[in-house]
Amino acid sequence: MTQTISKSGLSDLRSKDEIRAERRKGRTGIYLVAPGLLVLALFFALPVVVLLAMSLYVKPPGAEIGEFVPGFEIGNYMTVLSAYWPELLRSFWFALIATVLALLIGFPMAYLVAVRLREKPLLQGILLVLLIAPFFSSFILRTQAWKQILADEGFIAQALKFVAILPADGHLTATPFAVVAGLTYNFLPFMVLPIYANLGRLDTRLLEAAGDLYASPMNSFFRITLPMSAPGIFAGTLLTFIPAAGDYVNSALLGNNRNTTMIGQVIDSRFFKVIDYPGAAALSFVLMVSILVLVTIYIRRFGTKELM
């Protein structure tokens, strides 16, 4: 009895205005999220559905070029996978190497700026700008520049030939080396910035404490700095690996050779050269699903709570 009274009494305590305000608050949230949801639905969910449908289309007998009708041809996947699995594997392989290289190069950079230069804000600021500076120029132009840097008559190729690392008739452009170098360079900022943001919060007193307890610098790095920067490394590797696997500007400009073809190039050529829309759609879908699977495994294995 008392309970019911108090319950109804409680609800009576809230004025109508308050209830209305509460409702409005709930609605405001929906309004704020709506544009984002709409954009996602229109530019992600819908295209994915269309892509999936397209990948199952069939070519009717006697069809003109570019003519396909709705169907359910799972065989499209078999056809493109059996023809292009090497390119698919190569894309992930190149992306993996580029990610590891970017981590090895990027971590010390991030550490220097975020931790070592904490006492020198001016220098820190300058270096940070230098890190971000590549973002200011076009991705394509930067890749184009690499082509010049690695050209046969360029300094690097000549120097490598001089020390006999590269045979006299060897070259750097149109090789896997050039493509991986381009990928590493182009996605380096995506690796450095998350790690930098993470290391910026690193409490150096922990390192001092470790030193007081006779931990070697090596030891305190592996026991303190590295574990604490794990979320940054995690984000950085994802931000590097995912776009690198799907990238094809680097492989087209710096590679463009049979042993450098990445899956993006194949999709482009299926679409525009052969006018095989279902094949291109099937490959795009396979790429998307493979990345999703790889990333899920990675998150399950190494994901940290802070990211989830």
Partner 1 sequence: MTRQRAINNQRRRLLQGIEQAQASRRSVLAGAAGLALAGLLSACGTKGTSSGNAAALAPATDLSDSEAVVNWANWTLYLDYDEKAKNYPTLQRFMKESGLKAKYAEDIDSNDSYYGKVQAQLAAGQDIGQDLMVFSDWMTERIIRQGYAQELDHNNIPNIKNLLPALQEVRFDPGRKKSLTWQSGYTGLVWNKEAFPKGLRNVEDLWDPELKGRIFMLDEMRDTMPMLMLDDGVDIAGSWGQVEFGRSLEVLDRNIRNGQIRQVKGNAYKQDLISGDAIAGLAYSGDITQLNFEEGGKWEFALPESGGLLWSDNFQVPMGSPHKKNAERLMDFYYQPDVAAEVAAYVNYLCPVLGAQEEMEKFDPELVEDPLIFPTEEFLSNTSSERELSVEEETDFQNQFQEVIGV
* Residue ranges binding partner 1 (CB under 8 A): 46-47, 50-51, 53-54, 57, 60, 62-70, 83, 139-141, 143-144, 147-148, 151-153, 169, 171, 173-174, 248-249, 252-253, 256-259, 261, 264-269, 271-277, 280-281, 284
Question: Measured over all CA atoms, what is the biggest interatomic distance in the chain, rounded to whole angstroms?
Answer: 97
- Which residue's CB is nearer to partner 1, number 111 or number 146? 146
- Side-chain-side CA neighbours of 144 within 13 Å: the count stands at 5
- Which residue's CB is nearer to partner 1, number 77 or number 221? 77
**Mind giving me the DSSP string for 280-307?**
HHHHHHHHHHHHHHHHHHHHHHH--TTT
| Shortest spacing between CB 64 and partner 1, in angstroms | 4
- Which residue's CB is nearer to partner 1, number 207 or number 244? 244
| Shortest spacing between CB 144 and partner 1, in angstroms | 5
Residue 134 DSSP symbol? G
Cβ pair 243, 291 in contact under 8 A:
no
Q: How far is it, in rounded angstroms, from Cα 230 to Cα 207? A: 16
| Shortest spacing between CB 8 and partner 1, in angstroms | 54
| Shortest spacing between CB 106 and partner 1, in angstroms | 24
User: CA 253 → CA 5, 147, 178, 305, distances in Å?
Assistant: 76, 7, 9, 39
| Shortest spacing between CB 282 and partner 1, in angstroms | 12
Cβ pair 250, 264 in contact under 8 A:
no
- Which residue's CB is nearer to partner 1, number 178 or number 239? 178
**Residue tagged 């700008």 (tokens):** 129
- Which residue's CB is nearer to partner 1, number 220 or number 284? 284
